[in-house]
Amino acid sequence: MTSDIVYLNGEFMPLNEARVPVLDRGFIFGDGVYEVIPVYSRHPFRLAEHLRRLQNSLDGVRIANPLSDAEWTRLIGEIVARNDGDDQSVYLQVTRGVAKRDHAFPKDAKQTVFLMSNPLTTPPAAQINDGVATISASDFRWLRCDVKSVSLLGNCLLKQMAVDAGVAETLLFRDGKLTEASSCNVFVVKNGVLLAPPKNNLVLPGITYDVVLEIARAREFEFEVREVSEAETRDADEIWITSSTKEVLAVTRLDGRPVGNGKPGPLFQRMHALYQEFKQTVMRRAA
């Protein structure tokens, strides 16, 4: 399977031929933003929403969007067509460009635009059926977690804590409140009510988070979008993590203790099935 044709600043080329100058501000400062778009049966999922979030991230860091939505759509379609596999994960990145090193924005740098695609790997059946273990940590990231910035050092350090502990994710608490996880959003279920931390500057506005809440609304789950305390999280009947590649997974252990009865709960099972159904329906409509 080849998944090595990438796009860089106007050209398609093999991954191992793509080169960025060392003075690119993405390299020097982590000065850029990105998106990850899941592609099912060669159809990008929720593309309009991903492009809207990209625009919000660019606005958040004051980089002009180098392409129109129509141009992004064409480019994403082309990278999908040039790579093997019906299910892919398209990564795109925009940096402020190449300039002499200076914290202040350069006057005339041209944005660097990079796209690649990898085979989409969704969670194995064991993780869906048994759930995953997690640890927790204090959320020490910056206060603009709503920007999907390539400056991911905080997220990398927090994810490595999970890897070192032999678990899937690190759930994050800030000032006694649940924010998200190192690379996922987090939901909690208590007494049959689905609780979702609100979208604000402390969390990435997940595309999957929105899909889950849309399904919850359409299928009359009882749910509340509100701050969730650390105590509520530790006392939850169910915890879920969501992302474009993990979809919806049950968290069955937190810091070595079982969540609820230690098995994926009934609301998770219902949501997981509805999420798969939703995906199928959207993709059938797109085909």
Task: Report the alpha-carbon distance of residue 47 to residue 53 in Å, rounded.
Answer: 10
The residue count for the chain: 287
Instruction: Select from 79, 114, 78 the least CA-distant residue to 96.
Output: 114
Integer Cα distance of 279 and 43 in angstroms: 11
CA 254 – CA 238 distance, rounded (Å): 11
Indicate whether 155 belongs to the interface with ligand PMP (CB under 6 A): yes
Question: Is 37 a residue that touches ligand PMP (CB under 6 A)?
Answer: no
Q: What are phi and psi of 196, to 5 degrees?
A: -125, 120
Q: Which stretch binds ligand PMP (CB under 6 A): 96-104, 200-208, 249-257, 279-287?
A: 200-208
Please tell me whether residue 184 binds ligand PMP under the rule CB under 6 A.
yes
> CB of 14: closest distance to ligand PMP in angstroms?
26
**Encoded tokens for 274:** 């509805």
Taking the complex as a whole, the smallest distance from the CB of residue 152 to ligand PMP amounts, in Å, to 8
Q: Contact region for ligand PMP (CB under 6 A) — 23-31, 88-96, 203-211, 227-235?
A: 203-211
Query: By C-beta, is 8 or 249 nearer to ligand PMP?
Result: 249
Give the shortest CB-24-to-ligand PMP separation in angstroms.
22
One symbol per residue from 206 to 245: x for binding ligand PMP (CB under 6 A), - otherwise; what is it?
xxxx--------------------------------xxx-
Q: Write the DSSP symbol of residue 113.
A: E
* Tokens representing residue 107 in the block: 């006057």
Side-chain half-sphere of 122: how many Cα atoms within 13 Å?
15
> With binding defined as CB under 6 A, does residue 57 bind ligand PMP?
no
Among 31, 139, 169, 180, binds ligand PMP (CB under 6 A): 180
Q: Is 148 among the residues known to form the active site? A: yes
Residue in the block written with tokens 């004051």: 62
Q: Is-contact 252 127, C-beta < 8 A?
A: no
Q: Is 233 or 242 the residue whose CB approaches ligand PMP more closely?
A: 242
Give the separation between CA 163 and CA 101, rounded to whole angstroms. 34
**How many chain residues interact with ligand PMP (CB under 6 A)?**
13
Is 245 in contact with 124 (CB distance < 8 Å)? no
Query: Which of 100, 107, 110, 148 is flagged as catalytic?
Result: 148
Q: Determine which residue in the list 28, 79, 195, 204 makes contact with ligand PMP, applying CB under 6 A.
A: 204
Q: How far is the CB of 212 from ligand PMP (least distance, A)?
A: 9
Say which DSSP state 123 is in.
P
Element (H, E) at 75: helix 69-82
136 binds ligand PMP (CB under 6 A): no
The answer to the question of residue 178 lying near ligand PMP (CB under 6 A) is no
Q: Which is nearer to ligand PMP, 38 or 97 (CB)?
A: 38
Non-local CB neighbours of 151 within 8 Å, separated by 6+ positions? 29, 30, 31
**Binder among 57, 183, 233, 252 for ligand PMP (CB under 6 A):** 183
Phi and psi at residue 197, to the nearest 5°: -55, 140
Q: Is 170 among the residues that bind ligand PMP (CB under 6 A)?
A: no
Which residues are part of the catalytic machinery? 148
Interface residues with ligand PMP (CB under 6 A)?
Answer: 155, 180, 183-185, 204, 206-209, 242-244
